[in-house]
Structure 1
Amino acid sequence: MRKIILKTVLASIIASGTAHAAVIYKEENGSNVELYGRFGFNVSDKKTGSTQGDFDGRLGFIGRQVVNDQVAIIGLAQYQVNAAEYANNVEGNNDSLTARYVWAGFDFAQYGKITGGRVSSGLIMFTDIGDVFASSDVATGRQARFVDPTAVQVFRQDGTIQYQNNIGNLDVSTAYIIGNGTSDLDYGYNAATRYTFDMGTAGKLVPVIAFQKTRAAQNLGNRTNGADTFTYGGVGTRYYLGPLMLGLLYSSDTVSYSNGRADSKDKDLEFTAVYNVSNDWVLRTGYRYLDNTDGDELTLRDTTFEVQYKLTPRSSIYSAYILRNGKNGTNVDTGRQVSFGGSSAEDSFYHLGLRYEF
């Protein structure tokens, strides 16, 4: 029997950026297809220094087809308007609906999941420590794209085969990155692990370790400009105590070159704090310090203050001010200025957004 119902989605869907979904297809054996997404509008002076408005749209489907009691086929496709994915860079069209995640695989119940494609990487367990603001961008691992142009973020790369599992309080993930025709990748691999220490009335401590290495295929027509390997590692933790969540992460990564250029090294330190004042109000703040040496020489010193007001459980107004005191870099190949997140590393900006999720 097929029917349409509404329900709360599992934690695996939350990792894809949504807290709700609608089941648009369902069978009695548990097979289903769910629809989720978000709509939003943001007003900011982030990109141009003058106030402008931008639409924010995201749409996704997640499916599950039951094979037997222990095995199910699973898949996800998520698209976004104005996504910063590689296809937009090639086509020069930032108004298209572009894939952020597209993957399929198997769920073996207690034996874990195997997925392949542009997967929801296990590295998200680490990057999410700093990625708590509606108004800011992920900085850790930003140099991954120099070796793999499809890696808009270190946790979104084409041609990835990944294994994930949860064993009690331990979450593990490992992946091999094959790449595809647009990745210019020879090989890559990553791993992440997270453990939850439940300390009772003293709260919860959740440390995370992450690592990745990728190597470019040095062939004719390669688009990596001599970038040969990307090596990334990070450690961090979250601490939960009642309505308070604190986060701290440190990462470093190195891009080596085959053309004699010096290694480009990023070091990134981030602190975040989230306080749920009530069911309606959430306060967030954080500090990020990123410094590059022997590459574009970009420096980020960002202090973020953000307030969220929940109009409903699924819709919110966000107001933020990002105090920037960094230094713009210089692209070694083109000599052009390197900013971050579409705005200068030296100029502060504000953000006002309305977001509805379903």
Structure 2
Amino acid sequence: MFELPDVATLRQCSILCSAAYAVVFFAMGAGGAWYRYWGWGAFSYCASLILTGLIGEPLPLWMLVLTDAVLSFSMALVLAGVRRFDGQPAFVPWMWVVVGITAIVPSAVLTLVGTGAIAAAVWSATMAISSFALALPLIRNRATDGTARPRRLAGCLLSLYAPVYLTVAISALATQQLVQLLEAIPYLADQLLFGAANLALLWIPTARAQRELRDMALRDPLTGLWNRAALAAGAAKLLVPGRVALLIDVDRFKAINDCHGHAVGDAVLVAIATALQRGVGGDFVARLGGDEFLVVTDADDPASAAERLRLRAGRGEAGLPPWSLSVGGARIEAGDRSIDEVIQRADLLMYRAKDDGRTSAAA
């Protein structure tokens, strides 16, 4: 018949697991301060388990306060590391409040009623509330840097300690036989939740790095706009009937480079890119190469949209030579099979604008 390991053995497994992750995080500390926060979190959890095992139960009051504080602080350090990863202060006041309550409330109950089922239940319930409170910001995160999923996963795994501790709280009020059976639950949970949560934390920096590498491949290095690779990757999403593709070309851009130098020419392109982004908000804006840009946006009238964009992005900027733009606008039709077909129509209209004397728009 299968038998669960005794609590002492399970505690030793949890100590070894947390110590191993502490070593890993500290070894990666040069990669960012957040690794050190996570390392101290794993170390603190390890320390709380060691203290509990060395002193034995029931714990003296001072040891109960210290152990509870260290245990709650270990979870707070996980959230603190994520906040440092985001460039925010590691701790905010409410986090200290949670840690303080976790340490003070059980010790106050122990002082009033002494050791027993009620004190054990209060301790477990307080730890459940603490673990959920510190995991909730990770679960509810709205990160846009590609790290939302690993943050949410880490938060969900840590929040699962809440029902674990609640189970222990309920069992503390049950029969002594049930208490002995269920007191191993937190340590059993450690074998799955602790390791998985730390792996999710390691995933966070990796996910951001992957997003940054992908964006680098899809971004124009000079202007920061999307490039042709991004256009190809998102072509299917852009091909929405009723939208408008606007092709923009800088008139006589070679003359700007020849007269003022390529550094000034680059500055002109950056100024135009900035104006295009401001003009269309969240729509697709790309530099197709050289002095040619593409905007895909919603508009009732392609000609009016092209003229507005020409005026907005062609008004010049202090300290730079004047420039003008030619814009061609083509509506995406239901029968278009690719975005390239729409761009070709916009291209013809853009050159028609140039033939009409440049500094103009056509649709």
TM over 0.5: no
Under TM normalisation by the shorter chain, which class is it? under 0.3
Looking at secondary structure, tell me which structure has more strand per residue: 1
TM-score normalised to the size of structure 2?
0.23
Larger Cα-atom Rg: 2
Normalised by the length of structure 1, the TM-score is 0.23
Bigger fraction of residues in helix: 2
